[in-house]
Amino acid sequence: MGKIQSKVARLTKLLLIEPYRIIGLWSNGETRINDFTEEVKEWQNSPSKELKKLASPRTFKTAFVKDGTLAFSGSKVYIPGITSGQPIDFDRRKLYADSKLIGTSVSYEEAIRPQKKRLENRKRRTSAVEHLEHKLSDSDSFNIVPAMIKKIDTRVKQLVAIGGELIELE
């Protein structure tokens, strides 16, 4: 039987770790911030020595991503039956719910898509103008003045800009 995939976003990367604030990148492409300032006050008064330790800025900065959530290597919990201490980690659903969206990220391909489109349009426009100039120069019976070339060039750019197809001039 295969694993059941959770639909809850997973923390994939920590972008900033400050005392009591974490900015992370989530699997859904969101960049979110968690501010633990209020929780730290509770941790300092907690009977749990692990949470008290986590209230230290030095320990807090040991944050890392573990299994899609936030964990801290500077504070370990000892679980019966497991020989070594496990880093404190948070429930990712709660971590996500308590965070605030500060932006979304895009892939490199999505980020450069507008630039690629402009470059393709420029190439298409250049080749259309070259094609037109070539057609005009091959015609012995067709004389054209420079002002007309500029007017034709402008029209070609308009056709390309609106995605129109150039038709062969007779």
Q: Which of 10-24, 42-56, 125-139 has the lowest mean pLDDT?
A: 125-139
Confidence at 37, pLDDT banded by 50, 70, 90: very high
Mean per-residue pLDDT over the chain, rounded: 77
Mean pLDDT of 131-137: 62
DSSP 46-100: -S-HHHHHHTSHHHHTTEEEETTEEEEEEEEE--TT-SS-EEEE--HHHHHHHSE
Contact (Cβ atoms closer than 8 angstroms) between residue 118 and residue 126: no
Biggest alpha carbon–alpha carbon distance for the chain: 97
Q: Domains in the chain and their CATH numbers? A: 11-104 (3.30.2020)
Q: Tens digits of per-residue pLDDT, 59-101?
A: 999 999 999 999 998 777 777 777 777 888 899 999 999 999 9
Nearest to 39 by CA among 108, 113, 99: 99
- Whether the pTM exceeds 0.75: the reply is no
More confident residue, 75 or 138: 75
Mean pLDDT of 5-15: 83
The confidence score (pLDDT) of residue 125 equals 62
70 CB contacts (<8 Å, ≥6 apart)? 11, 14, 22, 24, 34, 63, 64, 89, 90, 92, 95
The confidence score (pLDDT) of residue 61 equals 93
The confidence score (pLDDT) of residue 60 equals 92
Q: Tens digits of per-residue pLDDT, 104-132?
A: 876 667 767 777 887 777 766 666 666 66
The confidence score (pLDDT) of residue 13 equals 92
Confidence at 6, pLDDT banded by 50, 70, 90: low
